[in-house]
Amino acid sequence: MLKCSEFEATETINNSLNFPHTPQLLYALLYTLIVSYNFNRRLIDNKQITAMFENCYAMNYSHYFKDIRFWIILFFIVRLYGIFFPPLEVSHNWRQTTVTMVARNFSEEGPNLLYPKIDIAGEKSGITGMEFPVLNYLIYLVSFLFGYEHWYGRLINLIVSSFGIWYFYRLINKYFREDIAFNAGIVLLFSIWYTYSRKIMPDTFSMSLMIAGLYYALNYLDEGKTKDLIPAFLLVITGTLAKLPSAYLLILLTLPYLSRSIQLNRKLWLGALLGIGLIFPLWFYFKWVPYLESTFGFHHFFMGKSMATGTKELLEHWPETLSKFYDIAIKYIGFAFLLWGLYKAIRIKETFLLRICLIGFIGFLPIMLKGGFTFYHHSYYIIPFVPVMALMSAYGISSLPSRRWEIIVLVAIGLEGFFNHMDDFRIKPVNAALLQLEPIMNEISKPKDLVAINSGAFPTPMYFAHRKGWVAFNDQLSKPHYIDSLSQLGLRHIIIMKRTFGDSMVPRSDKNRWFLRASDINFDIYSLDTSGLNK
């Protein structure tokens, strides 16, 4: 929610600057966001910000606001705030650390793309099936040049996802009016992509590659230029490898393939090239991933469940399922205009737009059904479908009676998205305490010592301890036979999380003696008395 001073500041600039209506609204949005961002930090005085905006308008820079690249670059810069943060924000820190674990292991043990390793496989090697480690490998490459840091994946994803919005705009602009493309870009920018574009996760990263690949593929089909084939091939294959569900977007190629206006030889060349290229991603996910899990004995990667089970779970929890569309994906205002756009498109028979959305939903539906509980439980499963939703929402916005009203709605969508995602730009002190875990462990243990942590299913504390071992629940660690069995497998230390990711407890053992080596408000760390280790 805006503070009173922020409302006053916005009113002041509206009253003091005599802008034409559309630039005035854009200035008001930009000014409000910057003042809000500056409010608690007080980086500069708000009067200086007002003066800056007055000078900008006097120099006639308002035309930049009509260029989608201005907004992409601006909010690329805005989202650089906290870019150096470790993956400890509340939302999906666990998912991010499974990416950074692999990247760090690449840096420390060698970058074998076919044998990615995580740190929570206990005494096992840690090799397991997962997404093809494209993002992880890029983090490794940056680490190779500059040394490993937690945050590299944030910046890589933000850069790629920003280009993804640009290619999304270009793709829409090929087939629809420029104002629809602009509106769609803004809706996508402030959707769930706003924060997930700076998380160390492959979702928006992969979709951005797929959108760019689809753009070049359609360019080739429309114009027949061979130079478009290579980026289409590389981007589509890499996007599919990075996150398999993103490949559903290729179903939209059925529209040009069914069109008689496109030459047959172009369809054959593109189809053959992509078909050959997709052999490797399909082999990796459906042959290699199961092989890794069976050979190395650790299951980590979710490949979905039966569609019957998934359908049953979605129907039983239909309110949570629907909320992913209207609350998580593009928020309430964007979704309201999606419904309005759908109504208008049906009423005036916008066949092409309706076909895109219908075919896109048909392609996305198996992802939902295979996900079931996982779809409505995790926010990021809706990400692949958000561009389709943004297009229909943009069409609804563009049907308003004037461009001024369109800008008002875009401002509202921008403010709704910006303020709803602000919590993702800070780390709670209780989570930040995990940064002290590795230094503590370095004082009392060796890097190769195996540890157990009462973080349940969360791998985050293991990553920040920079150790390998087991994550477990309190009730498991309270059972003596469980701890004794792990001791036989090499367990040497138990980390008890007391304030976050777990609750205070005392581990129990019948056969071995454990003693408290370190304790503070956040952690208790127990070490095994190896002199009396039961054989």
Q: How many helices (H) and strands (E) does the chain have?
A: 27, 5
257, amino acid identity:
Y
Instruction: Report the SS3 class of residue 223.
Output: helix
Q: Give the pLDDT of residue 529.
A: 83
Q: Give the pLDDT of residue 308.
A: 95
CA distance to 36, 470, 495, 506, 530, per residue, from 509 (Å)? 53, 16, 15, 10, 13
Q: Give the pLDDT of residue 65.
A: 81
- Tokens representing 36 are 């809000």
Q: What ranges in 317-382 are assigned the alpha helix state H?
A: 318-323, 331-347, 351-371, 373-377
Identify the bridge partners of residue 514 per DSSP, sorted by sequence position: 528
- Tokens representing 168 are 């999304």
Q: What are the strands of the beta sheet with 468-471, ordered from one edge?
A: 468-471, 450-453, 491-497, 523-528, 514-519
Q: Give the pLDDT of residue 511.
A: 84
Residue with tokens 């409505």: 376
Q: Residue 496: which of 535, 527, 530, 531 has the closest Cα? A: 527
- Tokens representing 231 are 């980026």
Instruction: Burial-class residue 60 by CB neighbours within 10 Å (0-12, 13-18, 19+).
Output: exposed
Q: Are 467 and 441 in contact (CB under 8 A)?
A: yes
Averaged pLDDT, groups of 10, the chain, 535 residues long: 36 38 54 56 57 57 80 94 93 93 96 96 96 97 96 97 97 96 97 96 97 98 94 98 97 95 95 96 97 94 91 95 94 96 96 97 96 93 97 97 92 93 90 95 94 95 97 93 94 94 88 91 91 57
The model's pTM is: 0.88
The values of phi and psi at residue 449, to 5°, are -65, 135
Distance CA 318, CA 379 (A): 15
